[in-house]
Amino acid sequence: MAYTALEKMRKDNLAAYGKDVGPAQPALFGGGLERTDLKSAALRFLHERCEELKFDADVEKKEIETGKLQGTSLKPNQIPYNMQMDINRLCLEKSLERFIVSGVAEDAYDVYYCYLEIFFGHYGKSKKMVELLSEFESNGSSLLMKHRDHYSHSVYVFALGLAIYETNSTYRRKFAEFYGMNPEDGKQQEKEAANLFLEFWGLTSLFHDIGYPFELPFEQVMSYFEVAKQERGKGSLFIAYHDTDVLTKLGDAAKKQFLELYGKDFGSITEILAYDIAGKLGKKYEITEEGMLDVLSRKPTQPNDFGYFMDHAFFSSCRLYHEMEESIGISKITRMHVDALSAIMLHNSLFKFSISFYKAKDKSKRKSPLSMEDHPLAYMLMLCDELQCWDRTAYGRNSRTELHPMAVDFDFGGNAIHACYYYDSAEQEKINEFRKAYKAWETGGEQGDAPRLKAYSDMAEKEQRFTSDIEKIVDTTDIPLHIVPDTKRNDRKNKHIFLSSSNFLHLYDFAVALHGRSKPDTPLQELERQFEALSLEYQLSTLNRAKNFSRYLDAIDCFYTDKPVDYEMVTEFTPEQAAIFAPLEHERWIRDHQMMGWVYGRDYETLPLPDDVNRNTPEEKALRQTRREQMRCHKLAMDGTVTTEDIRDHYFALSEEDQDKDWKPFNSMLKLLKKFDGLRIYRLD
């Protein structure tokens, strides 16, 4: 069974009540183990390979000895601790499934949220690290000549890595060997290797671009002059960063921790990364620790030494180190955390232009591509970062007019990668013009540079620039690439883009406000504490309710914004408006519960009470609620395949009290929103 703690709870319930009352085992997406597309492979990895993720045998033993459960569901101590860990993994699996379907940043947010809750233990501490990347990109990137989304991009990169690990036996073996494991020794070793990969690949992939807010100001200055067609280079006006000790310097506790890990004194995180990179790649690429430290030291301070480019990877590594220091604590940082940081440091330009020189005009200076066994995390990041070029919002002025792939079909079967990248058929005229020009270039003797229509030409031209560039960066011997372009009609329906937008600066506050709606005078810090006491499942449910708020407002011709606009402000929803959006909220609740494996049932209400619990008492209510969480059935849930109309009928058949649950919270929330950065709701008419 993939979710072993849920299965154990089911068996315990069967023994206690004499019949099968759940919980149900969550279904695997696609229903089988053979499909090798991106979605199936990535979700199968989470579902099948990551059993017992974050389980704690000591906590389980204590639960058995004391009879007191330590897992949180709606409330603390309602379910076994390991069952909570299983549900957390299911949250990550279902959040990733939702994102792969939609590709929207709001669903990418859920994946970040799950990862931070599972592995950092507290989203709230790290939310600015995640949210500011989205804020910078959406507001500042339009000033650049070339820039595309890195927020959703990072979650796609994460999914790609999971799919490749799931389907490529050579990578699984080399990853395990690199970290001293052999999955062939048994299922336990296989699980441990997969869980290790999930944790540190997630750290590497999801946060590899968080340093972009440092690169964007540099590029904005460059773009100011590039508008006039001035090439960057000597004579360019550029900005550089100084006093970088604030990002790189280690405190006394950190120095002590790294001395214990490496047996060597370090004064900065860049010294550690130089040591780590040289240790892994030094012999093969003829680099020294001192030489690498010199390069890293000049990255932020002398961009003119690097083609007048600022490397966001430097800032991503340093920023992530400090986030780990503050969130998980110095004492829990290991060599594998450093591996994630060095992989991030290498991924953008460091390996390509300061180590392997993969585009050097003098081909004798070019060095071999990175192999899996050299640095498995860096290898996977560089491969997936290059492959993930589809469905990325274009912000830069030139980027918005270029032709980029909008979708892709992957097949990871046979230890290879087959990918068909799709371009919008509405751009067929551009493609035809390119093909015509390219054919003329070929028949004319291929004089001068070949015509370009990036990125389409990189895949369509005979040089196969897209594939060949990847092959110069990473060794694809054990994972050959087969790339082709195609066209199809762009369908934006699944994006669900509405007028309301907050760039995630208010999403967490929305959820906190919704949860604390009954106490509008409660200080924000206390509301956050109460929200964070919920399990990840219930936090996500509230976040999804908050995310869908824009959809509900759209249905009643309203929107929210933090900008002052000349529209009528809404201070309360009318019953007529509620009648429109309440069934939509009920549909969200039904589908969220179905996705998380809840089923219809009333056993928690009808099974006999223990002798020491009296009817119609708070003790009975608490016991019934605990049983509901342990059985994962609900009297308001629906089973099977249901349509929107089915759910609407179900809503109107509910009691008035139950109907109120789907809209009254939003009225209460209006009062709380005044606390959050001037966010207001307006009526379009």
pLDDT of residue 379: 98
- Sequence-distant (6+) residues with CB within 8 A of 26 are 2, 3, 6, 47, 90, 93, 596, 597
Residue where the block lists tokens 């603390």:
76
Q: How far apart are CA 580 and CA 553, in angstroms?
A: 10
pLDDT of residue 493: 56
In the three-class reduction of DSSP (H, G, I as helix; E, B as strand; rest coil), residue 561 is classed as strand
- Residue 362 contacts residue 287 (beta carbons within 8 Å): no
The answer to whether the Cα torsion of 613, 617, 618, 621 is positive or negative is positive
Q: Closest Cα partner for 157 from 415, 333, 386, 310? A: 386
DSSP string, 563-574: S--SSEEP-S--
- Sequence-distant (6+) residues with CB within 8 A of 15 are none
- Sequence-distant (6+) residues with CB within 8 A of 620 are 609, 613, 614
CA angle (44, 46, 47) in 5-degree steps: 60
Q: How far apart are CA 387 and CA 157, in angstroms?
A: 8
Cα dist. 251→244, 254, 266, 322 in Å?
Answer: 14, 5, 10, 11
Cα dist. 358→215, 302, 365, 476, 605 in Å?
Answer: 23, 22, 8, 15, 67
Residue 515, token pair as written in the block: 């949860």
Q: How far apart are the first and last CA of the chain?
A: 54
Cα dist. 321→314, 333, 341, 345 in Å?
Answer: 11, 9, 7, 11
Q: How far apart are CA 111 and CA 128, in angstroms?
A: 15
Q: Closest Cα partner for 167 from 479, 408, 384? A: 479
Residue 303, token pair as written in the block: 């961009």
pLDDT of residue 665: 78
- Sequence-distant (6+) residues with CB within 8 A of 156 are 103, 388, 390, 391
Residue where the block lists tokens 């460059």:
222
Helices (H), 348-455: 350-354, 376-387, 428-443
pLDDT of residue 673: 64
Phi, psi (deg, nearest 5) at residue 99: -65, -45
What is the number of other CB atoms lying within 10 angstroms of the CB of residue 68? 9
- Residue 118 contacts residue 536 (beta carbons within 8 Å): yes
Question: Residue 104 carries which side chain, given as an amino acid letter?
Answer: V
Q: How far apart are CA 138 and CA 394, in angstroms?
A: 10
- Residue 355 contacts residue 285 (beta carbons within 8 Å): yes
pLDDT of residue 74: 94
- Residue 378 contacts residue 371 (beta carbons within 8 Å): no
Q: How far apart are CA 163 and CA 384, in angstroms?
A: 10
- H-run or E-run covering 634: strand 633-634
| Pairing of the two strands 599-600 and 417-424 | unpaired
pLDDT of residue 149: 66
- H-run or E-run covering 483: strand 481-488
Q: How far apart are CA 360 and CA 372, in angstroms?
A: 23
In the Cβ-directed half-sphere of 228, how many Cα atoms lie within 13 Å? 7
Burial of 663 (0-12, 13-18, 19+ CB in 10 A): buried
- Residue 248 contacts residue 318 (beta carbons within 8 Å): yes
Which ranges of the chain have pLDDT less than 50? 141-147, 395-401
- H-run or E-run covering 409: strand 407-411
Q: How far apart are CA 543 and CA 109, in angstroms?
A: 10
Q: Closest Cα partner for 276 from 262, 286, 260, 259? A: 262
What is the number of other CB atoms lying within 10 angstroms of the CB of residue 452? 15
pLDDT of residue 145: 41
Q: How far apart are CA 119 and CA 324, in angstroms?
A: 10
